[in-house]
């Protein structure tokens, strides 16, 4: 049976996922349509995705997860989320992960090692996870920053620590940098054990994440340095491939790491 896939969002990640699916990168999965932003009187619509797709992939942002996610799950569809930061919201998390009958899947996205952390959280205890993320200063400019702060950040000649704290501090100050910390909290099954350090580094050639998870079943030290997406310097080129890998597993798990 073919797994029918619809996408919400066709930016850097969504357009690459569409290309990969059309090229047959996920045998057993087929692209049914892409929900455009705004006017849906022509072309594919969210209602069409609801009717025709087996799984809907969100590649559009936190607001789209809030808008479409609960409706998909309530209708019994499966949802694959890229904007994992949306699950920082406890009520949305419940709607997506617990209410059913649809299922919510989370892409491994820009990270590695979530499988080991999930297994350790289920079979043991996790005492602490730290994640140090480094990005170019321009990728970390925020609307709340005043002119001087922005200018200082953009002209910095050395690395600057911008934040040290848990998911709630990160979400308030750097909402677009919450995917990785949310993914780690979800893998751990605990939002209190994750501590993030966010660094603006003018020398950063790639966005990098250094994760250290201390658990009763082992210590995992994971370093990931991602090439930027050609379509969006703030996004990682790996993410569409992680999405397609997930779809391939959903469609035909034989030979997959699960
Ligand atoms: N999990 C991870 O590791 C990870 C890594 C990178 C990015 N992401 C997330 O993936 C998402 C997409 O990233 P991107 O680089 O493709 O961004 P992008 O800005 O290039 O593209 C987003 C697209 O979604 C569209 N869109 C927004 N709201 C929509 C709606 N309601 N309906 C239909 N389309 C809508 C926009 O018009 C845009 O074309 C981001 O929210 C980002 O947080 C996750």
Token pair for residue 117?
Answer: 């952390």
Nearest Cα neighbor of 81 from 90, 92, 91 is 92
Q: Which CATH number fits domain 114-226: 2.60.40.1120, 3.90.1150.10, 3.30.360.10, 3.40.640.10?
A: 3.30.360.10
What does the pLDDT read at residue 41? 65
Expressed in angstroms and rounded, the spacing between residue 69 Cα and the centre of ligand 1 is 14
Residues 109-141 pLDDT 10s = 999 999 999 999 999 999 999 999 999 999 899
The CATH homologous superfamily to which domain 3-106+238-251 belongs is NAD(P)-binding Rossmann-like Domain (3.40.50.720)
Q: Which of 158, 209, 210, 241 is catalytic?
A: 209
149, pLDDT greater than 80: yes
The atom number, within ligand 1, closest to the CA of 36 reads 33
The atom number, within ligand 1, closest to the CA of 234 reads 15
Expressed in angstroms and rounded, the spacing between residue 82 Cα and the centre of ligand 1 is 8
186, pLDDT greater than 70: yes
39, pLDDT greater than 70: no
Contacts of 51 (CB under 8 A, 6+ apart): none
> Kindly report the CA angle at 83 between 238 and 201, in degrees rounded to 5?
60
| Rounded distance between C-alpha atoms, residue 229 and residue 234, angstroms | 7
192, pLDDT greater than 70: yes
The atom number, within ligand 1, closest to the CA of 236 reads 6
The residue with tokens 């250094």 is: 210
Confidence of residue 199 (pLDDT cuts 50, 70, 90): very high
Expressed in angstroms and rounded, the spacing between residue 46 Cα and the centre of ligand 1 is 16
Active site residue 209: yes
What does the pLDDT read at residue 187? 97
160, pLDDT greater than 90: yes
For residue 225, what is the DSSP state? Answer: E
236, pLDDT greater than 80: yes
DSSP string, 129-189: EEEEEEE-GGGG--TTS-HHHHHHHHH-SS-EEEEEE-HHHHHHH-GGG-HHHHHHHHHHT
| Rounded distance between C-alpha atoms, residue 164 and residue 193, angstroms | 13
Q: Taking the domains of the chain in order of start, what are their residue ranges?
A: 3-106+238-251, 114-226
């Amino acid at each position: 049976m073919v797994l029918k896939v619809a996408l919400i969002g066709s930016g850097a990640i969504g357009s690459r996922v569409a290309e990969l699916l059309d090229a047959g990168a996920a045998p057993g999965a087929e692209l049914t349509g892409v929900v455009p932003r705004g006017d849906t009187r022509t072309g594919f619509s969210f209602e069409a995705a609801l009717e025709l797709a087996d799984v809907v992939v969100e590649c559009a942002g936190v607001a789209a997860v809030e808008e479409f996610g609960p409706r998909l799950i309530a209708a019994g569809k499966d949802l694959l989320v890229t904007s994992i930061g949306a699950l920082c919201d406890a009520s949305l998390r419940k709607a997506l992960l617990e209410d059913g009958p649809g299922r919510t899947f989370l892409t491994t996205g820009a990270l590695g090692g979530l499988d080991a952390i999930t297994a350790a959280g289920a079979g043991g205890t996790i005492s602490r996870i730290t994640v140090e993320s480094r990005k170019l200063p321009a990728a970390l400019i925020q609307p709340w920053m005043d002119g001087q702060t922005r200018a200082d950040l953009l002209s910095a000649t050395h690395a600057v620590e911008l934040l040290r704290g848990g998911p709630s501090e990160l979400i308030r100050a750097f909402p677009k940098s919450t995917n990785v910390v949310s993914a780690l909290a979800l893998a751990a099954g605990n939002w209190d054990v994750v501590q993030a350090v966010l660094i603006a580094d003018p020398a950063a050639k790639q966005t990098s994440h250094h994760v250290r998870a201390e658990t009763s079943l082992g210590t995992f030290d994971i370093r990931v340095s991602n090439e930027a997406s050609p379509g969006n310097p703030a996004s990682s080129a790996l993410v569409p491939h992680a999405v397609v890998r997930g779809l391939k597993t959903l469609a035909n798990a034989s030979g997959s790491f699960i």
